[in-house]
Structure 1
Amino acid sequence: MKSTIANGVWPTMVTPYTEDNKVDYEGVLKIIDWYDKQGVAGIFAVCQSSEMFFLSKEERLELAKFIVENTPKHMGVIASGHVADTACEQIEEAKEVIDLGIDAYVFISNKFAAPDEGEEVVKKNIDKIVNSIHNINFGIYECPYPYKRLITPETLKWCADTDRFLFLKDTCCNLEGLQAKVNATAGTNLKIYNANAATLLESLKMGCAGYSGIMTNFHAELYVWLCENYAKYPGKAEKLQAFLGAASVIECQCYPVNAKYHMQLEGLGINYHSRVKDKNELTQSRQIEVKQMQVMYHLVKEWLDI
């Protein structure tokens, strides 16, 4: 059982589909290879970007198994697939994914309690689940669907003190909130990975371990550069951050269709069909926006000499 996971960039992996709406495993291989060439630390598989709520249980397990078996050994794999509602179902769901050989199983924070339930319910359910699953460490993702539940610094410290939690994908999009969580987990094995591009540089300075967000599906290598070089080249880091923050507004456009379209532009040869969004929503003007962002991405790459 791993006691830590690597700092850096953990892409939230998208799921490509064939024309007849099945998981495109040739496309999955191409995306894994693309992430690898961009220098990421590992992959966050079967997450919301993977459309996990729109995959059957069999598809979630098959996809996770395929990713584990085909990801290079120097990269980590963490996975979720946490969609069940009751604690008992969640335990069985988690065990099946864990048995595939992942580095950590990632829980969705909003599955620990209903919107009107407090932190004591959250901790009670976490305690029940964690004590029912052995020989694996965990992560938490503050997923915005079906509702967004941010983990409080106090609850996060409680999780960290169990010595079973290694990863938090934070979606608070707030530097004060991030700082409170960094302070709460200081000296523990739990690392915080910011999902918000605009606040990334400042969050790295305050002690966050890296980035795990949507924009890894457009230009992960720029995030890798920032995570690895922000302290060494502060001037360049500030300018790169300005591009990353501005570019990240495309998250609101037509995701994950636009990310798959960008991958197609990058030569991956995948379909940009999605089960979450109608690909026809990616209108001509939106496609042009993605193409224009791609041009800027390559100009930034040249400037950074990567």
Structure 2
Amino acid sequence: MTRSFSGIIPVMITPFLDTGEIDAEGLTRLVDWYIDHGVDALFAVCQSSEMQHLSLAERVQLAELTLKAVRGRVPVIASGHVSDDMEAQLEELKAIAATGMDGMVLVTNRLGLGEASWQDDLDWLLERLPEDLPLGLYECPAPFRRLLSDEELAYCAGTGRFGVLKDVSCDLPTVTRRVALTEGTPLRIVNANAAIAGAAMKAGARGFSGVFTNFHPDLYRWLMAEGEAHPELAEDLTIFLALAAQTEPMGYPKLAKLYHQRLGTFDGISSRAANFDIEERFWALVPTLEHIERGTESFRARIAAL
């Protein structure tokens, strides 16, 4: 059976230098920050990493830098295929896989774009990717969200080659159904929506991989591991996490970079995906971030006091 991936899995952001290059030192400090805050794995070269705006050489560099910074402390999974053409996607996936990733994540909206069906494209890739390479699935919202049908998910689970689905259905009944569909297989359902995070964990989802793992992954970890034993605090935390995550449309991923600049993780906040002044476009952005910072520290203190 293939390796499974579960727990708190941040979708990594990419710090850039003023020159436009990837900030290797900043990325190292970011990796340390994730691990210091209790993550179980890292998802590199994903949408939050701005993979659609990176060249293939940069995507490979990002994967290599992440693995170097992690030093085997947690598993690293990665995606990075952004092309429409299947041959080009295979080249992208093989290049990322050659870095030594623990798992390769296939983006669901990249398959079935031509004359072949979604499953035919999947089978074509499975025949050409290393059989011993654990795989995952990612319902990436860009350039469009492509959710798996129950039949497609069951097929993937039945191959025994998939260890995780980053679920972007944002729908608790769908998460619950998918947990049942994949029972007894290596495929773990990991929800990505903050509004249903706690409920999805109770329904059998094996963790969380939403964008606010870039802000307070430790709070999601506590909710997963200890929340049921402390229902009142868990309910308060669930509300805070859901409301904090509603700021995502305010210039993410640059929003997360500003947060980490304020923490001192790295200096630059430039973003190719959000290449505009987020403070000018979104009024009272910094005061909103300050509320998230204070709320985060308040819940950390409440948890520490238990």
How far apart, in 2, do the equivalents of 1:225 and 1:72 lie? 24
AA matched with 1:168: L
User: Are 1:16 and 2:12 counterparts?
Assistant: no
Query: Contact 1:196/1:213 (CA < 8 Å) preserved in 2?
Result: yes
Q: Which runs of 4+ in 1 moved over 6 A?
A: none
Residue 87 of structure 1 and its aligned partner are, at CA, apart by 1.9
Q: Give the whole-Å Cα distance in 2 for the aligned partners of 1:281 and 1:251.
A: 12
2:151 corresponds to 1:154: yes
Distance in 2 between residues matched to 1:231 and 1:125, nearest whole Å = 41
Taking a change above 3 Å as real, the CA distance of residues 155 and 6 of structure 1, as seen in their structure-2 partners, is closer
Counterparts of residues 79-158 of structure 1 (less than 5 Å):
79-114=78-113, 121-134=117-130, 135-158=132-155
- Kindly report which structure 2 residues correspond to 1:162-173, keeping only aligned pairs within 5 A, or say none: 162-173=159-170
CA distance in 1, matches of 2:267, 2:218: 20
Structure 1 residues 181-225: Cα deviation after superposition (integer angstroms, max 9, x where no partner)? 111111110001111001011111111000011001111111111
Structure 2 match to 1:215: 212
What is the TM-score with the length of structure 2 in the denominator? Answer: 0.95
- Aligned pairs for 1:44-59 (under 5 A) are 44-59=43-58
Match of 1:272 among 246, 265, 269: 269
State the shift of 1:234 in Å.
2.7
Which whole-Å CA distance do the structure 1 matches of 2:279 and 2:212 have between them? 17
SS in structure 2 opposite 1:291?
Answer: helix
- Contact kept, 8 Å, 2:15 with 2:266, in 1: the verdict is no
Do the aligned residues in 2 keep the contact of 1:11 with 1:212 (CA within 8 Å)?
yes
| Count of residues in correspondence between the two structures | 302
Corresponding position of 1:199? 196
SS at match of 2:135: strand
Amino acid at match of 1:206: A
| Identity among equivalent pairs (%) | 35
Taking the aligned partners of 2:266 and 2:161, their CA distance within structure 1 comes to 39
Structure 2 portions without partners, runs of 5+: none
Partner of 1:25: 24
Equivalent-residue separation in structure 2 for 1:262 and 1:136 (angstroms): 35
- Check the 8 A contact 1:262/1:291 in 2, yes or no: no
- Alignment pair present for 1:248 and 2:272: no
Q: How does the TM-score come out when normalised to structure 1?
A: 0.95
Q: Which moved more, 1:242-251 or 1:85-94?
A: 85-94
Determine helix, strand or coil for the equivalent of 1:269: coil
Distance 1:76 1:231 in 2: 26
Q: Does 1:225 pair with 2:222?
A: yes
Q: Which residue of 1 aligns with 2:37?
A: 38
Q: Which amino acid aligns with 2:118?
A: V
Structure 1 pair 100–89 and aligned structure 2 pair: CA distance change class (3 A):
same
Give the letter for the 2:161 counterpart. Answer: R
